[in-house]
Amino acid sequence: MITANTNNAEKSTNTSLEPSSPSVAEISRTNNEMFRQVADLALGHQDFNGNKDYNAIDKGIKERVIDLSSYVNSMTTTKLNMMENGKLVLSMTQDGDLVHHAMTPKERGKMSEVLNNQNLTDDQKLDKLTSLINNIAIITQLQMNFEKGMSQGESHSMHR
């Protein structure tokens, strides 16, 4: 934190030069907008006439869940959830194991960069989002496998 102090005999002022962090309400609003954009990209498939499926988009937004399973091959199911507190959470299952991953500020930042990039087509945005979510899914899967291996290792050492 950078602080500028001005002292004189009569008064003292303290002016902070550090930018303020976003409030919970601002983060929630931003996450909500990103959720709507992802719903539009992932659920708004165009039919042969070029029409978007607005019913699917509306349903995803209303239920606060976007099924991304068809885009994420590394998991059995993958859903992006907009929680009541405004957080974005990926729910993923693999081999019967369910894991929830709260998206980090860095992951949300990357998602925002993709969604707000005016130079990308909707298909390119969807490809980049799919890549981002696949990376998160793979890392999550590796963590699950590691934790399973560690617990199995502990179990084997206890039997000896």
H or E stretch including 153?
helix 122-159
Classify residue 65 by its DSSP letter. E
Query: How far is it, in rounded angstroms, from Cα 66 to Cα 35?
Result: 8
Query: How far is it, in rounded angstroms, from Cα 78 to Cα 58?
Result: 19
pLDDT tens string 14-36: 344 444 566 777 877 888 888 88
Reading the chain (160 residues) residue by residue, the pLDDT tens digits are 333 333 444 443 434 444 456 677 787 788 888 888 898 888 877 666 777 788 888 888 899 999 998 888 878 899 999 998 889 999 998 888 888 999 999 999 999 999 999 999 988 999 999 999 999 988 888 888 888 888 876 655 555 5
Domain boundaries, the chain: 21-155
pTM for this structure? 0.71
